[in-house]
Amino acid sequence: MTWLLAITAGVLFAAGLYMILRRSLVKILVGLALLSYAVNLLLFNSAPLLPARPPLLPPGNGAPPEVYADPLPQALILTAIVISFGVTAFAVVLMRQVYGTLGTDDLNEMRCTDVPCEEVEIASEEEQMEEPL
């Protein structure tokens, strides 16, 4: 089981990295989602997977059982899922905004902030203001 999860996490990492290297915004979005799944699986795998060993104290006796599953990674994943949900939702809105403002989803056409292109900066002052984030 550990091996299966490890290989799945690896495949997800590879696919996610490949996708965020693409030029299209939507593919980058998919890549980010895949990466967050990969990390969640990795976290899931970070404590030994023990079936049917709940981390519960037996009634009456104060000492925990000798072998019990570690519940902490699940708690970490839950937090990570919530965070990645929020981040992905924001990324979707941002990319919609980018598409609305620039009319393209090709990253190669978004070089305005890397190379000087003055006319765009001046033109943008008042025009694209009706749909703020």
Partner 1 sequence: MIALPLLLPLAFAILNVLAWKSPRGQRALSLVGVALQSGAAFWLLGRVRAEGILHLPVGNWPAPFGIVLSADLFSALMLCLSAVVGLAAALYSQGGMDERRVRHGYYPLFFFLLTGVNGAFLAGDLFNLYVWFEVMLMASFVLIALGGERPQVEGAIKYVVLNLLASTLFLSAVGLLYNLCGTLNLADLARRLPGLEAGGEGTLIAVLFLVAFGIKSAIFPLFFWLPASYHTPPVTITALFSGLLTKVGVYALYRVFTLLFVPQGGYLPTLLLVLAGLTMTTGVLGAAAQMDFRRLLSFHIISQIGYLLMGLGLFSPAALAAGIYFMVHVVLAKTALFFVAGLVRQMEGSYHLKELGGLYARRVGLALLFLLPALSLAGLPPLSGFFAKLALVLAGFELRAYAIVGVGLGVSLLTLYSMTKVWNEAFWKERKEMGAASLQPVSPWMWAATLGLVAVSVAAGLLAGPLLDLSAQAAAQLSDPSGYIQAILGGAP
Residues that bind partner 1 (CB under 8 A): 20, 25, 28, 32, 35-36, 38-39, 42-43, 45-47, 70, 72-73, 76, 79-80, 83, 86-87, 90-91, 94-95, 97-98, 101-102, 107, 110, 112-114, 116, 118, 120-121, 123-125, 128-129, 131-133
Q: Which is nearer to partner 1, 60 or 122 (CB)?
A: 122
User: Which residue is associated with the tokens 């809105």?
Assistant: 93
Find the shortest distance in angstroms from Cβ 50 to partner 1.
14
Tokens of 117: 């292109």
Q: In angstroms, rounded to a whole number, what is the distance separating the alpha carbons of residues 30 and 16? A: 7
Phi/psi of residue 71, each to 5°?
A: -85, -10
Which of 18, 11, 70 has its CA nearest to residue 37?
11
Helix (H, G, I), strand (E, B) or coil at 112: coil
Which of 81, 98, 85, 104 has its CA nearest to residue 133?
98
Q: Which is nearer to partner 1, 60 or 131 (CB)?
A: 131
Find the shortest distance in angstroms from Cβ 54 to partner 1.
18
12 secondary structure, DSSP code: H
Q: Which is nearer to partner 1, 12 or 60 (CB)?
A: 12
Q: Which is nearer to partner 1, 65 or 78 (CB)?
A: 78
Find the shortest distance in angstroms from Cβ 127 to partner 1.
8
54 secondary structure, DSSP code: -
Find the shortest distance in angstroms from Cβ 8 to partner 1.
14
